[in-house]
Amino acid sequence: MQTYRFMEISMACTSVREMEDFWIRMFDGKVIFRGMMAGLPFSRMIVAGVTLVFREDPKLALPPGPGVEFQYNEHLGFRVQNLDAAIADMESRGAKFVLTPALVREWQQKTDPQTGRFLQTTFIAPPLTLERIQAGEYKHDVAIFVGPDNLWIELNEVREPQDTQWFREATA
């Protein structure tokens, strides 16, 4: 059987330089290659242990941005050990958060006319159970800010029991 390891995320962008500057400023990213691909600028970076490849696309249609988007369906998520500290760090680097744990808690108080809830989970993989979640064994807090080209960046603080370990542990 082959072993597969995740290698890269490749995305179109309007400006390779703007993407490089953002990832260097926000996450101490490192450019490892830069040049032209199919006649357009590209950059390959290492960010938080993952390779990001950005390719300029002059015809790129941008997704909705702050004030228009509120579902954040497409985003890049990072796990952090302390969400409050990560928010403070990102804000010191220029991030403007559009979703915070406080806003998530506010949304959770709202009800959907069809389901009665904002979020309804219909499956929980063993060994975790609803009872264990309600007992506080699992908790997931999130905050989101926007990068260049309305790229949503999600910070996640996950506390999970030892017998799941579904999410890679944050190292710093």
CATH of the domain at 160: 3.30.720.110
Q: Which has more confidence, 156 or 167?
A: 156
* Euclidean distance between CA atoms 65 and 60, whole angstroms: 14
Do 28 and 95 fall within a single domain? no
Do 79 and 53 fall within a single domain? no
Do 46 and 122 fall within a single domain? no
Torsion sign across C-alpha atoms 112, 116, 119, 123:
negative
- Look at residue 56 and tell me whether its pLDDT is greater than 80: yes
Total domains present in the chain: 2
Q: How confident is the model at residue 110 (pLDDT cuts 50, 70, 90)?
A: confident
Do 120 and 169 fall within a single domain? yes
Do 115 and 166 fall within a single domain? yes
59, 89, 108 — which closes off a domain?
59
Do 141 and 101 fall within a single domain? yes
Do 54 and 134 fall within a single domain? no
Mean pLDDT of the residues in the chain: 90
- Look at residue 20 and tell me whether its pLDDT is greater than 70: yes
Q: How confident is the model at residue 93, as a pLDDT? A: 97
Do 107 and 168 fall within a single domain? yes
3-state secondary structure of 134: helix
Torsion sign across C-alpha atoms 26, 32, 35, 38:
negative
Instruction: Determine contact, residues 144/152, Cβ cutoff 8 Å.
Output: yes
Lookup: tokens for 84: 């409050």
Do 132 and 72 fall within a single domain? yes
Model confidence pLDDT, tens digit, residues 2-12: 888 888 999 99
Give the pLDDT mean for 38-51. 95
Residue-number span of the structural domain to which 15 is assigned: 1-59
Lookup: tokens for 72: 């954040």
Q: How confident is the model at residue 74, as a pLDDT? A: 82
Look at residues 134, 133, 141, 135 and name the one whose alpha carbon lies nearest to residue 164: 133
Q: How confident is the model at residue 107 (pLDDT cuts 50, 70, 90)?
A: confident
Q: Which has more confidence, 1 or 43?
A: 43
Do 48 and 4 fall within a single domain? yes
Alpha-helix residue ranges (DSSP H) falling in the chain: 16-27, 83-92, 101-109, 130-134
- Look at residue 171 and tell me whether its pLDDT is greater than 60: no
